[in-house]
Amino acid sequence: MEETLEPNNLTPQSSSRDDQPIIVCRDVHKWYGNFQALQGVSMEVNKGEVIVIFGPSGSGKSTFIRTLNRLEEHQRGQIIVDGIELTHDVRNIEQVRMETGMVFQQFNLFPHLTVLQNITLAPLHVRKWPKDKAEEVATQLLVRVGIPEQADKYPGQLSGGQQQRVAIARALAMQPKIMLFDEPTSALDPEMIKEVLDVMIELAHTGMTMLVVTHEMGFARGVANRMFFFDQGQIVESGTPQQIFSNPQEDRTRLFLSQILTH
Partner 1 sequence: MAEEIAAPRQILPPPAERYTWLGWIQKNLFSTWYNSLLTFITLGLAYALLKPFLTWLLEQANWEVVEVNFRLLMVGQYPPDEIWRIWLLLYLLAAVVGLSWGVWVRGRLALALGLLLAPLLLALLPIATPSARLNLVAMDLVAVAASRLGRLGGPSLRRFAAWSWVIYLVLVILVVRGFALTPEVMPRVPTNLWGGLLLTCLLTVVGIVFSFPLGILLALGRRSSLPAIRAVSVVYIEVIRGVPLVTILFMAAVMVPFFLPSGITIDRVLRAMVGITLFSAAYLAENVRGGLQAVPHGQFEAASALGLSGFKTMTRIILPQALRIVIPVLMGQFIALFKDTTLVVTIGLLELLGIARAVLAQPQYVSYQREVYLFVAAIFWVISYLMSYISQRLESVLGVGER
Site residues for partner 1 per CB under 8 A = 69, 71, 94, 97-98, 100-102, 104, 106, 108-112, 114, 121-122, 125-126, 146, 153-157, 159, 161-162, 170-171, 174, 191-192, 195
Between 179 and 224, name the residue whose CB sits nearer to partner 1: 179
Least distance from C-beta 252 to partner 1, angstroms? Answer: 30
Least distance from C-beta 180 to partner 1, angstroms? Answer: 8
Least distance from C-beta 29 to partner 1, angstroms? Answer: 22
Between 108 and 243, name the residue whose CB sits nearer to partner 1: 108
Between 117 and 225, name the residue whose CB sits nearer to partner 1: 117
194-199 contacts, C-beta under 8 A, 24 or more apart: 195/146, 195/161, 195/162, 195/165, 196/161, 196/164, 196/165, 196/168, 198/146, 199/144, 199/145, 199/146, 199/165, 199/168
Gap between the Cα atoms of 166 and 113, Å rounded? 12
Q: What is the 3-state secondary structure (H, E, C) of 161-230?
A: HHHHHHHHHHHHCCCCCEEEEECCCCCCCHHHHHHHHHHHHHHHHCCCEEEEECCCHHHHHHHCCEEEEE
Between 100 and 225, name the residue whose CB sits nearer to partner 1: 100
Q: Which residues contact residue 179 at a Cβ distance below 8 angstroms, ignoring those fewer than 6 apart?
A: 100, 101, 102, 103, 168, 171, 172, 203, 208, 209, 210, 211
Is 38 in contact with 28 (CB distance < 8 Å)?
Answer: yes
CB atoms within 10 A of CB 57: 8
Least distance from C-beta 110 to partner 1, angstroms? Answer: 6
Between 94 and 250, name the residue whose CB sits nearer to partner 1: 94
Between 66 and 226, name the residue whose CB sits nearer to partner 1: 66
Least distance from C-beta 253 to partner 1, angstroms? Answer: 30
Least distance from C-beta 81 to partner 1, angstroms? Answer: 13
